[in-house]
Chains A and B, each alone.
Chain A
Amino acid sequence: MFAGRDEQPIVSLKGVSKVYPPSTAALTDVDLEIERGEFVFLIGPSGSGKSTLLRLLYREEQATKGRIVVNNRDVTAMGPSDVPFLRRQLGVVFQDFKLLPRKTVAENIAFPLVVSEFSARAIRLRVAQLLEIVGLKDRRHALPAELSGGEQQRAALARAIVNNPVLLIADEPTGNLDPETSRGITQLLAEINFRGTTVIVATHSEVMVNALRRRVVAIEGGMIVRDQARAAYRDADAGPAAQPDRRLVASGAAPAAAAAWPGRGSRRG
């Protein structure tokens, strides 16, 4: 599942801190690596720093300290004019979908390609393909307001991957959806990951995490308190507090994390 060890991780955070002015520490000294092709859940209570971490990845926020590399680009060092080209390699999905209300489903999905100045023909082909994948072919002329929540999130997902991103970032993608619909979206995310896109999902949803059984990174108070690879996550049911991840050990946060998170039962969904 994981890419070869010799390949650079697609996401690498080293000693990253984020302080919102005047003095709200959202993230403190975070180390994290995500390999190409991985599927990672980012969990933690509200205000723990999940969203901030994701926003740092697509440069919606800038790190106060530390170094972030995404797909071999140093996000912390790049100038503002490089940001659009970073984002063209990423896809981002939100809890509130963020579809353009006056554009149809097809137009919404096509939007990143229009912005990236693809040809009309390429856009048409690719959008048709995406409508098929997310199952909205029949709804392509509908406006977002005419769609159900699940359909809107499918459209948003289609828009996020229309540019073939190397990394899909989803911030609470099922936050507004009922469990049944959530499962459908989760399944779609797994499919996208299966096609080779690295996926990071921040979520509160235990259902979602349990459904897929992938790597789980837990954040609390702006620090990574647990990082369980898929295999370790499975073993956590049996063993005490799982084996600390090697990256977590390196950061020195592991002992405290293990103490704070004795087992799966206390994890906030």
Chain B
Amino acid sequence: MRLRTLAHLSGEAVASVRDNSLLSIAAVSTVAISLLVLSIVTLLAVNMQHLAAVLNAQVQIVAYLDPAPAVGGGAALGSCQAAPSSTAATGNSSATVPTAAAASSGAVSAAGAASASTSPSTPSAEEQTVIGQIEALPGVTKVQFVSKQQALNTLVSELPNGAGLIRGIGTDNPLPDYVNIFVADPQLVAGVAGQVASMPGVSCVRNDQQYVNDLFGFTQSLRYVGIFLIAALALTTLVVIGNTVRVAVYARRDQIGIMKLVGATDSFIRLPFFIEGAILGLIGALVSGLLVAWGYGWVQRIAAANMPFLPLLPAQALTARLLEGLALGGLLLGALGSAISVRRHLNV
């Protein structure tokens, strides 16, 4: 096919889009909305996955160390594990042990209580013992001590109104000292967490691995929901574009008849409608792309300002790739929708 012919047919397609302006706008809007939802689901899934990956690479086990031996305090703090059932199962024996151990070791901790509160950034002697024990466990690669003061500082910096918070607390820091425990193999996390929980001097253990797993699971279900949504919206888009093209075919039936009469080939007659569908799809993709790019940038700015602890993927790289995908998707949806419609409604 000559290039000039292609230009002529593209002109026909553009004219058709213009002639059917109202329906074209409807088609473009539908494509835009479909692709917008698709983009949102995609961005959500990608960020979830990113978040899960970041968390996975970060802390795996957090062990809260016994603060000053408050009466009955051990039992209260023992509930820091918002324990999912699997952890409860693996660490079943240890769940009761720490409270008992904490109660028995209360006297030992009492001696170090003063030193713990006076030197905020270094572990007390008792805490150092516990850290040594944890480090000796098989599979543990690193143990990182975080004092209650550091914890408070982190909290203040990560919360939007942290400064106000610290004023409210005053000097009475309610946070315990804790250690981050890194384990070589995620498989070992549950076992290590159980052992650490049974150590004296450890008030309770939070196993982040479980949250990460939950997050991965959630990402997975989000992906299924996304696939379903995408399929449903793709179908809608196909129908709307197909309908628009059907109207265009109908509006041009006289011209098509004459084209056939003077010896136009099938492809010559069909091509303008494919191009029309592709144009509609592409414009829809462009509209949704711009909305997504602008919207994601906005969400990211808001998130960065208010939720710095939530690591979102950077906008620039992500939206560039998303725009590519959207353009391709819009083009394919448009061309496919018109192809189906032309096949059904154009008897050449």
Residues of A whose CB lies within 8 Å of any CB of B are 58, 60, 80-81, 84-88, 92, 98, 100-101, 111-112, 114-117, 119-120, 159, 163
A88/B2 contact (C-beta < 8 A), A98-B254, A98-B257, A100-B255 known: no
Complex contacts, A120 vs chain B, CB 8 Å: 4
Bound-state CA distance A80–B263 (Å) is: 11
Is B169 part of the binding interface, using a Cβ–Cβ cutoff of 8 Å? no
Bound-state CA distance A120–B264 (Å) is: 17
Bound-state CA distance A100–B262 (Å) is: 12
Bound-state CA distance A80–B265 (Å) is: 10
Q: Is the CB of B262 within 8 A of A159?
A: yes
Q: Is the CB of A117 within 8 A of B1?
A: yes
Bound-state CA distance A86–B255 (Å) is: 19
Complex contacts, B1 vs chain A, CB 8 Å: 117
Q: Is the CB of B261 within 8 A of A87?
A: yes
A-B contact count (CB 8 A): 49
Besides A84-B260, A100-B258, A117-B2, 20 new A-B residue pairs in contact (Cβ under 8 A), listed by A number: A80-B266, A84-B266, A87-B261, A88-B263, A100-B254, A111-B258, A111-B259, A111-B262, A112-B263, A115-B259, A115-B262, A115-B263, A115-B264, A115-B268, A116-B262, A116-B263, A117-B1, A119-B4, A159-B262, A163-B262
Complex contacts, A88 vs chain B, CB 8 Å: 262-263
Instruction: Out of B8, B258, B265, B266, name the residue touching A98 (CB < 8 Å).
Output: B258
Complex contacts, A119 vs chain B, CB 8 Å: 4
Complex contacts, A98 vs chain B, CB 8 Å: 254, 257-258, 261
Bound-state CA distance A92–B5 (Å) is: 23
Residues of B whose CB lies within 8 Å of any CB of A are 1-2, 4-5, 8, 254-255, 257-266, 268
Minimum CB–CB distance for A30 against chain B, Å: 23
A114/B8 contact (C-beta < 8 A), A100-B254, A100-B258 known: yes
Bound-state CA distance A117–B275 (Å) is: 18
Bound-state CA distance A114–B4 (Å) is: 10
Q: Which 4 residue pairs of A and B lie closest in terms of their CB atoms, listed nearest first?
A: A88-B263, A112-B262, A87-B263, A115-B264
Q: Is the CB of B261 within 8 A of A92?
A: yes
Q: Is the CB of B258 within 8 A of A84?
A: no
Minimum CB–CB distance for B250 against chain A, Å: 16
Complex contacts, A81 vs chain B, CB 8 Å: 265-266
Provide the main secondary structure of the chain B interface.
helix
Bound-state CA distance A111–B8 (Å) is: 11
- Interface core residue of B257, B259, B261, B268 (most chain A CB under 10 Å): B261
Interchain residue pairs with CB less than 8 A apart (8): A58-B261, A86-B263, A101-B254, A114-B5, A116-B262, A117-B1, A120-B4, A159-B262
Minimum CB–CB distance for A107 against chain B, Å: 11
Closest to B1 in A: A117
Complex contacts, A92 vs chain B, CB 8 Å: 261
Bound-state CA distance A119–B266 (Å) is: 20
Minimum CB–CB distance for B319 against chain A, Å: 41
Bound-state CA distance A116–B262 (Å) is: 8
Complex contacts, A85 vs chain B, CB 8 Å: 263
Bound-state CA distance A55–B124 (Å) is: 103
- Interface core residue of B1, B257, B258, B266 (most chain A CB under 10 Å): B258
Bound-state CA distance A111–B259 (Å) is: 8
Minimum CB–CB distance for B46 against chain A, Å: 47
Instruction: Out of B4, B254, B264, name the residue touching A84 (CB < 8 Å).
Output: B264
Bound-state CA distance A85–B261 (Å) is: 10
Closest to B9 in A: A114
Q: Is the CB of A84 within 8 A of B255?
A: no
Bound-state CA distance A85–B265 (Å) is: 8
Bound-state CA distance A101–B4 (Å) is: 23
Closest to A94 in B: B261
Complex contacts, B254 vs chain A, CB 8 Å: 98, 100-101
Bound-state CA distance A261–B260 (Å) is: 38
- Interface core residue of A58, A80, A117, A163 (most chain B CB under 10 Å): A117
A84/B265 contact (C-beta < 8 A), A98-B258, A100-B255, A117-B1 known: yes
Bound-state CA distance A85–B254 (Å) is: 20
Q: Is the CB of B2 within 8 A of A87?
A: no
Bound-state CA distance A81–B270 (Å) is: 14
- Interface core residue of B8, B254, B257, B264 (most chain A CB under 10 Å): B264
Complex contacts, B263 vs chain A, CB 8 Å: 84-88, 112, 115-116, 163
Bound-state CA distance A120–B5 (Å) is: 10
Closest to A98 in B: B258
- Interface core residue of B254, B262, B268 (most chain A CB under 10 Å): B262
Minimum CB–CB distance for A59 against chain B, Å: 10
Closest to B255 in A: A100
Bound-state CA distance A111–B265 (Å) is: 13
